Amino acid sequence: MVQPANTLPQLEPAPAPHRTADDIRSPWLDFFQSFIRHPMAIVSSIFILLLLMVAIFAPWLAPYDPQTPDWMALGAGPSAAHWFGTDDLGRDVLSRIIYGARISLYVGLLSVTLGMILGVFLGLLAGYYGKWLDMLIMRGSDVLFAFPGVMLAIAVVAILGPGLNNVIIAVAVFSVPVFARIVRASTLSIKQSAYVEAVRCVGAPDRVVLLRHILPGTLSNVIVYFTLRIGTSILTAASLSFIGLGPEPDVPEWGNILAMSRNMMMAGKWNVSVFPGLAIFLTVLAFNLLGDALRDTLDPKLKK
């Protein structure tokens, strides 16, 4: 039978391409494999996890009550009874450092979280709507940028008064403008993307565009700076406590412990100042190393 001239031969559909394991790899697996290539990131992560465990289980790990003095060992050096020695009131330094981890991590995490929330919100508004709102938010950020971070925190605490909650507010205030600038820059780039324009064309409200399509694209930069900022906040809070603008002097906070050790340093009692200073140094270093590793992992421009 002769096939009609106007009939085209039927083509069989092409077989579906075979997907290998590399094609279906999870982005979390890619992140983990990139992250573990940084040895210092692993060390810093382990140190931070141990520090969190110490802060959580401080009542069980501390050998003594941080406020109870030992009248038989006033200003004693390191010994079997008191591994890090005692201060001038006979309080165990190791116990105060363990309990101080709670306060320092609490101040660092909470203050940076508050600053991040407000900064991300302002950055999204400034980058998405622009015009007078962008100018108002950015000029306000420039005013805050004109002051060094510690000086701005001191000014805020001087206005609000000393206290742990006011230290958190002060540290949060000087974290806001940097988060706002980071998110604004990312928003200006993402809102020009084709998929964002498509979502806006179908009539999606601004709330949906900002929260579902723009905000996720800014999170990598926010996470990196959030990690780096925790170390800076812990150091700033300790500085405020050291000059008497933090919590009450008897509170076992690392900056307070250093402040109480000033007189003992002149008498050669090095242990009361060295050990809390070492705790601050290692904690800030660990968060900075972790932030650098996250930046190298999450930033596609730095990936090899």
Q: Is residue 2 part of a domain?
A: no
Cα end-to-end span (Å), the chain: 63
Count up the domains in the chain and report the number: 1
Q: Is residue 9 part of a domain?
A: no
Q: Is residue 32 part of a domain?
A: no
- pLDDT of 218 reads 83
Q: Is residue 66 part of a domain?
A: no
Q: Is residue 69 part of a domain?
A: no
For residues 282 and 290, what is the distance between their CA atoms, to the nearest angstrom? 12
CATH number for the domain that contains residue 213: 1.10.3720.10
Helix (H, G, I), strand (E, B) or coil at 107: helix
* Domain carrying residue 213: 38-57+85-298
Name the pLDDT band for 52 (thresholds 50, 70, 90): very high
Residues 125-172 have pLDDT tens digits of 988 887 888 899 888 888 888 877 778 888 888 888 888 888 888 888
Name the pLDDT band for 35 (thresholds 50, 70, 90): low
Strand partners, 92: 86
What does the mean pLDDT of the chain come to?
80
Share of the chain above pLDDT 70, in %: 85
pTM for this structure?
Answer: 0.81
Indicate if the pLDDT at residue 24 is higher than 60. no
Q: Is residue 229 part of a domain?
A: yes
Q: What DSSP letter does each residue of 26-63 carry, written as one string?
A: -HHHHHHHHHTT-HHHHHHHHHHHHHHHHHHTHHHH-S
Share of the chain above pLDDT 90, in %: 14
Query: Residue 227: what residue type?
Result: T
Indicate if the pLDDT at residue 3 is higher than 60. no
Torsion sign over Cα 293, 296, 299, 303? negative
Residues 57-102 have pLDDT tens digits of 988 988 888 888 877 777 777 788 778 878 777 888 888 899 999 9
- pLDDT of 217 reads 82
Q: Is residue 98 part of a domain?
A: yes
- pLDDT of 25 reads 57
Indicate if the pLDDT at residue 207 is higher than 60. yes
Region 115-126: mean pLDDT is 91
Q: Is residue 5 part of a domain?
A: no
- pLDDT of 303 reads 52
